Chain A
Amino acid sequence: MHIIENGNVAAALGVKLCRANVIAAYPITPQTPLTEKLSEYVESGEMKAEYIPVESEHSALAVCIAASSAGARSFTATSANGLLYMHEQVQWAAGARLPIVMCVVNRAVGAPWNVWNDQQDSISQRDTGWIQMYCSDHQQIIDSVIKAYWLAEKVSIPIMVCYDGYILSHTYMPFDAPDQEQVDAFLPPFKPDYALNTEKPANLNTVTLPDVRMDVRGELAHGYMEIRYLLQEEMRAALAVAAEAEKRFADIFGRGGDPYIEPYLCDDAEYIAVGLGSLTYQLRVCVDALRKEGLKVGVMGVRFYRPFPDVAIANALKGKKGVIVFEKALSYGYEGALVSDLKSALYEHLAGTGDLPMVQNFIAGIGGRDIRTEDLTQTLRAATKSRVAKEPVWIGLKL
């Protein structure tokens, strides 16, 4: 059914359709309308779930971690400092291999206080062992939530579904809200065999030694290092499972595409703009304008940031003259995290082939600074002419 709603409602609808059992959340702008909507679903009886209004984000994820450990499909959402306050729990959820889904409604982090959009919050959680998906529109938000539960439960790894605050969370757009029957066909009930159970008592997340150790049955059990290696190995393997999710989704819902990247006019392009989230749709407008000028440019959105789809990215960028990476976050002291990862993928797969494109990095929209399409277009145009600078260039900076 096609409806017109804001991005937060798209996310809430996705969570409802996935029949999440336990929802815990603490208010933070711009995430609040999402969790308010969920409390509405639960209180009205429209959704059968437990909604826990916790006293902090740290506790929000604690509730999800415990509920998931006890076999409940769990959901939370946050933004900015809320996510940072969760950081310990974010790491814990991944190490405990719990398939929690969390929406991150991207917002700048303090200090100073700023409620507007950038992506420093979720990017700063890159190395926590969570899968990260980025959405460019409302359809992707609701679809990603549904795919995320399937994928997370398949690989026992938690997933952040990230979308830009205000730009997506508070704007209204038409999208297709799938039928409950379709979602039920896509997503089986969550029944983990490890769940806390008084019939089969296990002690979860106990202190684990540096080395392997015999268990009570005389079988050799992992040390901490094996457990962490498995997280890395299964995270990498999750790329293939994500493709399976995309295919299953397309079969049932009739839409989908490349699971990892979202190319636009890339096939014949000489220069490709790359980004995460809604910015890539804005870049499409720039690309359309530059195409009219005869410039062969395209744009590629990265849908999965972790696990990093290095092969897909390298293949898509192979032989291009230039890659221009636009980011709403950066690793202070160097450059954007995405551009570093992207260069690493290109080096790994294309070094020495003569197909290695030149890479440039632009930082935009930090703390909600308006990203003017004409500025983006001008930047992209200039980047196709020559290398603008070695260091990342901040677009629209007024220093």
Chain B
Amino acid sequence: MGTRNYRRKTSHSDHGPGDGGRTGSWRVERPVLNTSLCIPCKRKTEACFMCWLFCPEVVISRTIPPAINLEYCKGCGICAEECPTKAITMVDEAAFSEEDKDKE
């Protein structure tokens, strides 16, 4: 089936996630959060959220605990680097099993 009846005449895009595909597959290292070190987790109140602020990919939620969307996380490691308590560590993807690969 072709695009004859497509609703646009030219390049008018609508917004949605994953233009670049499941960019989690780009990842070499995975951010892993240690909630016992994470400030909002420890205090059980909204605090810090440096990881959320600096995440270039909008894949860290501003929640307690912060959740990382591994479907799209490219594994840049900025969150790990900026976390003031070193609660996030970057772990080699090879350490995770196949079915674990894209899961949060």
Q: Measuring CB to CB, which residues of chain A are less than 8 angstroms from any residue of chain B?
A: 95-97, 156, 194, 201-208, 212, 215-217, 219-223, 226-227, 230-231, 234
- B11 touches which of A208, A219, A220 (Cβ 8 Å): A208
Most chain B beta-carbon neighbours within 10 Å: one of A156, A208, A215, A223: A215
**Chain B 1-30 per-residue mask, 1 if CB under 8 angstroms from chain A, else 0:** 111001111111111100000000000000
Q: Chain B residue with minimal CB distance to A69?
A: B12
Instruction: Determine whether the beta carbon of B6 is less than 8 Å from that of A221.
Output: yes
List, in ascending order, chain B residues with CB within 8 A of A215's CB.
13-14
Residue of B nearest to A206 (CB): B13
The 8 Å CB contact of B16, one of A212, A216, A223, is: A216
**Secondary structure call for the A interface:** loop
B2: A residues at CB distance < 8 A:
212, 220, 226
* Given contacts A203-B15, A215-B14, A220 and B6 within 8 Å (CB-CB): yes
Q: How far is the CA of A154 from the CA of B57 in the complex (A)?
A: 42
14 A-B pairs with C-beta separation under 8 A: A156-B9, A194-B12, A204-B13, A205-B11, A216-B14, A220-B2, A220-B3, A221-B6, A221-B8, A222-B11, A227-B9, A227-B11, A231-B10, A234-B9
How distant is the Cα of A205 from the Cα of B10 in the complex, in angstroms? 7
A227 CA to B4 CA, complexed, in Å = 10
For B7, the chain A residues whose CB sits under 8 A away are: 219
Please tell me if the beta carbons of A222 and B8 are within 8 angstroms of each other in the complex.
yes
Point out the residues of chain A lying under 8 angstroms from B8, CB to CB. 194, 221-222
Contact B9 A220 (CB under 8 A): no
The answer to whether B12 and A202 touch across the interface, beta carbons within 8 angstroms, is yes
B4 to chain A, nearest CB (A): 9
B46-97: which residues lie under 8 A (CB-CB) from chain A? none
In the complex with contacts A219-B6, A221-B6, A222-B6, A204-B12 CB distance below 8 A:
yes
Interface pair A222/B13, CB less than 8 Å apart: no
List, in ascending order, chain B residues with CB within 8 A of A207's CB. 11
Q: Is A96 within 8 A of B3, CB to CB?
A: no
